[in-house]
Structure 1
Amino acid sequence: MSINIRQICKNFDQFEALKNINLAIKDGEFIAILGPSGCGKTTLLRLLAGFLSPTEGSIVIGDREVGTPSRTLPPEKRNIGMVFQSFALWPHLNVKDHIRFPIQHHRFIPSELKKNFNERIQEVLSMVNLERYAERMPNELSGGQKQRVALARAIAPKPELLLMDEPLSNLDAELRMEMRNEIQKLHRLTKATIVYVTHDQGEALAMADRIVVMNNGKIEQVGTPAEIYTKPRTPFVAKFVGKANLVKGVWNNDHFIPDLFPSAQWTDIGVDQEMKSYGYYPIRPEQIELAKEQQYETSIPGVIASVQYQGKEIQYIVHVLGQDWSVHSDVMDHYELREQVFIQIKPLMKRNNLSPV
């Protein structure tokens, strides 16, 4: 089901939670709404669900206008399923009954599906790998199993739009990785349009067809995971997705002169034009190479200020000419706290055949 969000604003008394939101979502698309706490992403999801009415603008789902300041279609009259952050399971119903309930009561469920509800229950149990747990009560399930039940309940009536509000935030790291795969699999099987709210950039990058990055009630950038990560348009997107180091300086056509090292001249490696207008050069932590000795005239001196071993890599904070840069390095290249190092930007080295720029 396609969605068109047009000029949406949402105010709570004097607070403007959403500011002029425009977004088009294609049928069957997996959209992640990504941003920090308080950016407006959950408010936008609640508007799509019908829990709130917009202050200005309109929301069109499919071919129906479902939300305007004067008229909002309630959730039960929208063909949607919803997965909440808190699981929201009913303590008196077992797993099978959680799936049966929406099949019997969802307004838009096809009559054939309602008639053959037992077949649909078994199909959904198989989708979420809960066949062996059909008779169990919520208090007999692990956190991951509870989340599977919440997903099963949401997809059981075959909704055309599936809304997810940070569904994995209450799970541990290993379960989150497992559930990412499950949600991706469900998207392929159901072919439903999914709008997925999260503050976790890893979840958004791993699962979404497109990511909507929000900040302070506005959309900062919309794009594929690769576009968001490699070509951020604003300083906020560069810092929030990928934890880029933002170097201030002056752009001169396709070359950049950093303020902290005016004798250097860096070539353009695909920096977005809007980012250039802010006077920044974004460098992701994995784009930086560390060395114990100065290899090029333009290598920048720094001092290791923090060391965090992460198994497959070591994450450093390097104090560079008055700034702290984040650097991710191979575990084979180990540096000690307070050690003097020199840094060079990898793409620049590669483009110039390992020659300084």
Structure 2
Amino acid sequence: MIEVIGVSKDYGSFPALQNVDLEIKKGEFIAVLGPSGCGKTTLLKLLAGFMGPTAGSIVMNDSMVASAKRVVPPEKRNIGMVFQSFALWPHMTVADHIKFPLRHHPNSRKDSKRAMSLRINETLALVGLDSFAERFPAELSGGQKQRVALARAIAPLPNVLLMDEPFSALDVELRMEMRKEIQKLHRETQASIVFVTHDQSEALAIADKIVVMNKGKIEQIAPPELIYTRPETEFVATFVGKCNVVKGHWQDGRFVPAIDSKSSWPDLGVAEHFKKKGLYPVRPEQVRLSLSTGTETQGRITYVQYQGHEIHYTVEAGVETWTVHEPISSPRFQVGDAVEISLKSAPKPEKDLVFS
């Protein structure tokens, strides 16, 4: 169990983190998601012990490891760390990279050479590198280097694995493959994982829970499906999935969009924050387009992008710009077409819906 309690971090006069509260349960996979400069890497450095908070405290397994007055250094915390760069030592073989933390990590025991050799072989087999033990980093591909970095971090069985955008140096195909590797490692090691990323699709795909950050603050903490279907702020809505935030007003529990005062949309679990501001978040795939009959024109197609399984449209609707995703089987529209915009019917989610 890790508890981040009222943590703030200032760099001079700049507040990098502001009163952050976060709880990470044993075995939980947390993705910290946000744009550059939002504070996510600062939070990871505080968890690792690379620096201390300006205010607040961090507790790991009922032990205070960081406060404004005292910081337990990284080598005395039971953590594993995977850096944005692979951070491999060019003079060490793959096996030596795994051996190093087994000798020096605070969680490692003084096992016999045979026991250490067995652990090295187990770890390499877990990441699919058992036949690469004697190779040096210069002899490995990018994906293999990343696997070595992962193996080095998990070898001493840390309670928490901290990962700072570990796939940023990999191409798209390798990133997809490494997502599967991380999920496999999580299942088999049962370690808590804190995974920092700016890639929303990565966070949605692999995490148990997502922490969305913006300007040093946490905007929302929830499982991926709730982050996507029930955003609580405009930032979460537009950063995760490029939601359309529609203007209008709420009346008798239904939403009346400004672009069509004759229509009313049902409450599909919209957060109170949006209701108070007269807004309605609509995902691109929740919108239906149809050719205008001439009297009900609400928008005009300005961009069309073919994406294989669906078509992406950009629609100018008065002062608003909408993003709409239609399946490939739907009627096609061209740039300049006048269209009507409506909301696709969808079941209202249960208010007490819980994802484990």
Change (3 A) 1:300 1:95: farther
Unpaired stretches in structure 1, ≥5 consecutive residues: 352-357
Mapped contact 1:285–1:327 kept (Cα < 8 A) = yes
Tell me the alpha carbon deviations over residues 276-333 of structure 1, each in whole angstroms, 9 at most, x when there is no partner: 22321000001112223559x9x76321111122212121111122311011111233
**Which one-letter code corresponds to 1:202 in the other structure?**
S
TM-score normalised by the chain length of structure 2: 0.93
Give 1:317's aligned residue. Answer: 314
**Which one-letter code corresponds to 1:100 in the other structure?**
K
Q: Which deviates further from its counterpart, 116-125 or 264-273?
A: 264-273
Change (3 A) 1:40 1:122: same
**Which one-letter code corresponds to 1:197 in the other structure?**
V
- Map 1:273-352; keep pairs closer than 5 Å: 273-294=272-293, 301-333=298-330, 334-347=332-345
Mapped contact 1:103–1:113 kept (Cα < 8 A) = no
Deviation at 1:113, TM superposition (A): 7.7
Give 2:149's aligned residue. Answer: 150
Partners in 1 of 2:273 and 2:20 — Cα distance?
19
Mapped contact 1:232–1:272 kept (Cα < 8 A) = yes
Deviation at 1:70, TM superposition (A): 0.5
Change (3 A) 1:83 1:300: farther
Give 2:82's aligned residue. Answer: 83
Deviation at 1:56, TM superposition (A): 0.3
Partners in 1 of 2:309 and 2:334 — Cα distance?
17
Q: Which deviates further from its counterpart, 128-137 or 50-59?
A: 128-137
Tell me the alpha carbon deviations over residues 188-218 of structure 1, each in whole angstroms, 9 at most, x when there is no partner: 0000000010111111111111111000000
Q: Aligned Cα RMSD in Å?
A: 1.8
Tell me the alpha carbon deviations over residues 234-263 of structure 1, each in whole angstroms, 9 at most, x when there is no partner: 000000111100011212241112223223
**Which one-letter code corresponds to 1:314 in the other structure?**
I
Give 1:38's aligned residue. Answer: 37
Mapped contact 1:269–1:347 kept (Cα < 8 A) = no
Q: Secondary structure at the match of 1:167?
A: coil
- The yes-or-no answer on 1:21 pairing with 2:20 is yes
Unpaired stretches in structure 2, ≥5 consecutive residues: 349-356
Give 2:354's aligned residue. Answer: none
Partners in 1 of 2:113 and 2:280 — Cα distance?
57
- Map 1:40-59; keep pairs closer than 5 Å: 40-59=39-58
Q: Identity rate of aligned residues, in percent?
A: 56
Change (3 A) 1:250 1:84: same
Q: Which deviates further from its counterpart, 82-91 or 303-312?
A: 303-312
Partners in 2 of 1:227 and 1:184 — Cα distance?
20
Give 1:135's aligned residue. Answer: 134
Change (3 A) 1:294 1:185: farther
Mapped contact 2:297–2:338 kept (Cα < 8 A) = no
Question: What count of residue pairs does the alignment treat as equivalent?
Answer: 347
- Map 1:40-189; keep pairs closer than 5 Å: 40-112=39-111, 116-189=115-188
